Chains A and B, each alone.
Chain A
């Protein structure tokens, strides 16, 4: 996330002082990326040093100095809107590393790793969906298409990104599980059913609801020959 460019984007709407910029930033990014005001002033100082913003007059009665964009700053914002964000170098992802190692480590039950992760991800997806419902229609279901205000639309954009990220992760987990079943099944026989510690007691009744998997529980494969190839 580029905080400096985001601040420049906010200043393109008109001069503002640091605390106002902090509040606007948080409101317009779904309150998902909190900033402290010191970070804002430090960033403004760097942007001023680089000639992208300039103090717009002296301090007001409360000692606050408003900043405005320079022509160079305005050009920088324009370029940011036009240039795609580089997503070709994804961040290091613990889950990807863990699962990649799990499928390559003979004494680890990768199915169980997937199952535990999927349970947690689905519970997270359910919580996010609840949050979305509360956001879009507090107190009642949406009756007609809501007219979004800029702020609620920003909130929704950020929440939807999280929802799609979890959904994507779930689809990926399903796919990896399918790959595992396919690799391990003899070509002529149907895929074996998955047997997990949780499956034996899964009656799907609320009273039998399985607690979230304990991440500290070691996941080890039953003593069976590894037939992967």
Chain B
């Protein structure tokens, strides 16, 4: 069986201590395989953001394990954790994804440059990533020269540049109109169909419809799961 790109194994995250402790996530297990897009739904305060932070190695579980591409986040030193985030995990937020003073290609190549790759090499990888999405003509445009939908597609390209195979998307269609938003989700879907692993946090059932599986959280626990296909 294929090794999952992301595994949360019986993860609990408690914020605070004693009487004021809040159990934001409570014994949650999630796996995302290559080629899979998993959506996470649930009301406010259900633990969606906590789950995303753990999956992106921005936070560590109080108990349980998060394993990204075979590495357990709890067992890494801070430097190694930062390298794991940089090399293995891409994140697409609702907005403010791109650095305004950099072109699309420079934005996409940035994680590689930060990782010590040469500028020319990062540029080559960025142009390749844009080409895969049919966005070649955006390479030298700045964010303010692109539509919102184009910016989000570039953000997805950046999330999966280099050796990154895990994309975490937090309401990635935010303020986009429904038709443009569908285009962005179609790109995310296509990248997962091509072998990436995706975790999509959304409160829109319509968006969760693009996923292979939908997990419902309530009060920090998985209370239901819907499997399509």
Q: With a CB–CB cut-off of 8 A, which chain B residues contact A164? A: 206
Contact across chains for B183 and A142 when beta carbons are under 8 A apart:
yes
Q: Does B186 contact A (CB under 8 A)?
A: yes
Q: A126-B211, A137-B186, A193-B219 are in contact. List 14 more A-B contacts (CB 8 A).
A: A115-B224, A122-B208, A126-B209, A126-B214, A130-B228, A133-B210, A142-B186, A163-B206, A191-B219, A194-B218, A203-B31, A204-B29, A206-B33, A210-B227
Q: With a CB–CB cut-off of 8 A, which chain A residues contact B208? A: 122, 125-126
Among B189, B209, B224, contact of A202 (Cβ-Cβ < 8 Å): B224
Contact across chains for A144 and B134 when beta carbons are under 8 A apart:
yes
**Total of A-B residue pairs, C-beta within 8 Å:** 120
Chain A 116-163 residues near chain B, CB threshold 8 A: 118-119, 121-123, 125-130, 132-133, 136-137, 140-145, 163
Min C-beta distance of B15 to chain A, whole Å: 15
Q: How far is the CA of A205 from the CA of B10 in the complex (A)?
A: 12
The digit string for B200-229, where 1 denotes a CB below 8 A from any CB of A, is 000011101111111110110111111111
Q: How far is the CA of A210 from the CA of B208 in the complex (A)?
A: 18
Q: A140-B190, A143-B133 are in contact. Are A130 and B38 (CB under 8 A)?
A: no
Q: A199-B222, A206-B31 are in contact. Are A125 and B206 (CB under 8 A)?
A: yes
Q: How far is the CA of A121 from the CA of B205 in the complex (A)?
A: 10
Q: How far is the CA of A115 from the CA of B178 in the complex (A)?
A: 27
Among A125, A141, A144, contact of B209 (Cβ-Cβ < 8 Å): A125
Q: Which of the four size classes fits the interface of chain A? A: 35 or more
Closest to A128 in B: B209
Q: With a CB–CB cut-off of 8 A, which chain A residues contact B211? A: 126
Mostly helix, strand, loop or mixed at chain B's interface? mixed
Can you list 8 A-B pairs, Cβ within 8 angstroms, ordered by A?
A: A122-B205, A122-B228, A125-B206, A126-B211, A141-B134, A143-B133, A167-B205, A206-B33
Q: How far is the CA of A164 from the CA of B204 in the complex (A)?
A: 11
Q: Does A72 contact B (CB under 8 A)?
A: no
Q: How far is the CA of A166 from the CA of B215 in the complex (A)?
A: 17
Min C-beta distance of B19 to chain A, whole Å: 14
Q: Does A178 contact B (CB under 8 A)?
A: yes
Q: Does A171 contact B (CB under 8 A)?
A: yes
Among B38, B187, B221, B225, contact of A141 (Cβ-Cβ < 8 Å): B187
Q: How far is the CA of A58 from the CA of B215 in the complex (A)?
A: 63
Among B182, B224, B226, contact of A126 (Cβ-Cβ < 8 Å): B226
Q: How far is the CA of A115 from the CA of B120 in the complex (A)?
A: 53
Among B30, B43, B206, B223, contact of A167 (Cβ-Cβ < 8 Å): B206
Closest to B38 in A: A204
Contact across chains for B209 and A133 when beta carbons are under 8 A apart:
no
Q: With a CB–CB cut-off of 8 A, which chain B residues contact A163? A: 206, 209
Closest to B183 in A: A142
Interface centre among B28, B30, B225 (most CB of A within 10 A): B225
Contact across chains for A171 and B30 when beta carbons are under 8 A apart:
no
Q: With a CB–CB cut-off of 8 A, which chain B residues contact A125? A: 205-206, 208-209, 228
